[in-house]
Structure 1
Amino acid sequence: MGALSKRAAGAALINANIGLFACPICQQAMDVYDQGRLTCTTNHSFDIAKQGYVNMLTHSAASKYSKDLFESRKTIIESGLYDPLEEKIAELIGQAKTVLDTGCGEGSHLARIMSQIGGIGVGIDIAKEGIVTAARHYPEQIWCVGDLAKSPFAKDSFDVILNILSPANYEEFKRLLTASGCVVKVVPQSGYLQQLRAQLYADSAQETYSNEQTVERFRESFSHVSVERLTYTVPLSSILVPALREMTPMGWHKAQQEEVNVSEITIDVDILVGRV
């Protein structure tokens, strides 16, 4: 027998973890049918794409993020720039069996973290372009186009929810967590990508950054919170500068031909861990 198609392989992986899913329309339980559809008990149906991901959006959604942005993000993450961050997250979450990455983009962070800890990872993003890229490159995890405001997941399903440099939905996070689960949120600190910011935002208010309000809101949302700062600076090959610029909103307002010279880059983030 030949290898499974990507659709069949994705359907099999979803089916093996079907308890994680609930219909985003009626919240009923779901099943996989014909290796191509995810259907609830009241017959709401969502197609599993040929690339192996499932689209569970209940409304149209325009994304400002392009395929090129997600490919650039993958290039930067696979260069090792975020290795210390991913290793720290893997250390914090230990042997979690179910991990949801919210705003996962093209899935590189989740795939690399899950390769260190095992278990099953599920990535969700409203941007179809990101999920298509994730499914193409990381078929070992489950990928879902969706919106947590109309959640396609069952209550009490995930041991860990990752929220890496992405907007949050804390009430939904708390609904989805298991009793002993935690949310790991990564937010920029003042030195994050400071070399790039210094050139693209020179002499403007955006040259500096504060995450104080974001951290305070996280503290208000969870009963038990820890905050750990991670800061490091590494050399950056000139070949990677265009990709770094492409993947961050900092570069979008500048003409692409405008020269940016960065030989090293700083990752400076707070890692917030919250428990209900």
Structure 2
Amino acid sequence: MSRNDRLLKKAQWLSMHEKMFKCPICGSSMKVQQLASLVCENLHSYDISRQGYVNLLSHRAKTKYDKALFEARKMINSSGFFGPMIEGISNRLIRMQKQELPESGKPLRLLDAGCGEGSHLSAIGHNLREQGHESNVVGVGMDIAKEGVVMAAKTYSDPMWCVADLSQCPFADEQFNYILNILSPSNYSEFRRLLTSDGMLVKVIPGSLYLQELRALFYTGTGKETYSNDGTMELFSRHFERIEFEELQYRVVLDSEQMKQLIHMTPLSWSVSSEVIERMSGGEMEITADFTLLYGWK
């Protein structure tokens, strides 16, 4: 798909769904103008980029998540490391669709808050379409890290991608049936505002054994060898009246190149010396994936 075709497709998508959006600066409604920009009632304007995403930040954002990190994360995603976790979420949403949204004409609106380079949302959307929801899945991915959103827009044409801040989500109230928040920071007040009355938040957090092999090698003798998600789970429980959770644990063998990418993609390595990282990334290793999948309803 050429850049012009991508731009036109995204402009048409935004025209169809412009009521989903609100201006992050003044909160007013928005419309697509000249198939090139989202413009609010007070004339705050946000251009559709040539890659097919919209930058809806109202301020400059500094982040340590750079292009190299997202390239590493994309490679790890393509290796299948997150496959069972993606399958678990997809199966849950498919069951929910069959049980709670039986109307064939009712669209499913899905937001990935903290979408990174887009692999998770794209895979889950694909799985939902495989189950017969092809024309009814409205996917939106947002992240404050522009490099990740640019990569998502270049790689995946189906969802709409936005650079945006969780504290000022550029969406109107009660727009999404499901919000995904996968290994990413949360803003529960915004999530509750954006969910429909029967909507569900899916939050994925690391379990105590997640990447335990890296922790053991990076943090031996520092007291950081172990991790607890108790505080995150307690905070989650304060914001939702109905809660369910699943624990998912498995092990994946990664080759030396995949190990290098895994180390580069995780913030666990940010405070570790290059010498330690170099020693770790020299060969094949079996790595633990350990996730807690939290489901919350308003």
* TM-score (normalizing by structure 1): 0.96
Distance 1:256 1:14, change over 3 A: farther
Q: How many residues align?
A: 275
TM-aligned CA deviation for residue 7 of structure 1: 1.9
Distance 1:199 1:9, change over 3 A: same
Q: Distance in 2 between matches of 1:98 and 1:110?
A: 12
Decide whether the 8 Å contact of 1:195 with 1:262 is kept in 2: no
2:145 to 110, 117, 127: 127
Encode CA deviations 1:89-138: one digit per residue, 9 max, x unaligned: 01112247111111111111111111101312111111111110110101
Q: Distance in 2 between matches of 1:78 and 1:180?
A: 33
TM-aligned CA deviation for residue 161 of structure 1: 0.6
- Aligned partner of 1:20 in structure 2 is 20
- Residue identity opposite 1:142 in structure 2: M
Q: Name the SS for the 2:166 alignment partner.
A: coil
Residue 203 (1) aligns with residue 225 (2) = no
- Aligned partner of 2:279 in structure 1 is 259
Q: Distance in 2 between matches of 1:154 and 1:262?
A: 47
2:294 to 260, 264, 272: 272
Residue 175 (1) aligns with residue 193 (2) = yes
Q: Distance in 1 between matches of 2:284 and 2:164?
A: 36
* TM-score (normalizing by structure 2): 0.89
Encode CA deviations 1:212-251: one digit per residue, 9 max, x unaligned: 0100110111000001100001211222011101100111
Decide whether the 8 Å contact of 2:166 with 2:186 is kept in 1: no
Q: Name the SS for the 1:207 alignment partner.
A: coil
- Aligned partner of 2:68 in structure 1 is 68
Q: Distance in 1 between matches of 2:8 and 2:286?
A: 43
Backbone CA RMSD of aligned residues: 1.5
Q: Name the SS for the 1:259 alignment partner.
A: helix
TM-aligned CA deviation for residue 3 of structure 1: 8.4
Q: Which runs of no fewer than 5 residues in structure 1 stay unpaired?
A: none
- Aligned partner of 1:190 in structure 2 is 208
Q: Distance in 2 between matches of 1:179 and 1:207?
A: 41
- Aligned partner of 1:214 in structure 2 is 232
Decide whether the 8 Å contact of 1:222 with 1:274 is kept in 2: yes
TM-aligned CA deviation for residue 76 of structure 1: 0.3
- Aligned partner of 1:78 in structure 2 is 78
Q: Name the SS for the 2:167 alignment partner.
A: coil
TM-aligned CA deviation for residue 44 of structure 1: 1.3
TM-aligned CA deviation for residue 8 of structure 1: 1.8
Q: Distance in 2 between matches of 1:83 and 1:3?
A: 30
Decide whether the 8 Å contact of 1:196 with 1:262 is kept in 2: no
Q: Distance in 2 between matches of 1:15 and 1:265?
A: 45
Decide whether the 8 Å contact of 2:4 with 2:50 is kept in 1: no
Decide whether the 8 Å contact of 2:251 with 2:289 is kept in 1: yes
Residue 235 (1) aligns with residue 246 (2) = no
Identity %: 45
